Amino acid sequence: MQKFTIVTFFWYTFPLILLFGSSFLVKKASLEKKYGIKSPDIATPFLLVGIHYLSKATFDESFLPYTLLIVLLVSMLIAVFQAYQYKEIKYKRYLKMVWRIIFLITLLIYFLLILVSIILFLK
């Protein structure tokens, strides 16, 4: 049975802290105007690290390899979709779309891990 600790609470609030922090950084450094970088672009690698630590704390096993496998499969599907839809793959558009979808996938997996962790804690 898992214990509720300060570290567990940190990993539960990590996405909110991360999104607010990256949003502040983007606004303060004007990254969106200069380079087109938004806060989800900065938050994605940190969410991957968070998935690793939260899954290790909850299940004693890392879900990072499974998450990376899902990301690779989705990126291949995006490449096939863009090749079919546009008859070419423009790398800038492809990488931007893949990176933003990776953010959505990691955020969804992270929130599912939080939900499962809370359910296991209450049992």
Angle, helices 39-59/6-29, rounded to nearest 10 degrees: 170
**Could you read off the pLDDT of 33-63 as tens digits, one per residue?**
888 889 999 999 999 999 999 999 888 899 9
51 in Cβ contact with 63 (< 8 Å): yes
Domain interval for residue 56:
6-122
Tell me, what DSSP letter sits at residue 3? Answer: -
pTM surpassing 0.75? yes
- Mean pLDDT (the chain) is 91
Structural domains in the chain (count): 1
Q: In the predicted model, is pLDDT for residue 7 greater than 90?
A: no
Share of the chain above pLDDT 90, in %: 75
Alpha-carbon span 60 to 45, nearest angstrom: 21
Residue 58, domain member (yes or no): yes
Residue 1, domain member (yes or no): no
What pLDDT does 2 receive? 63
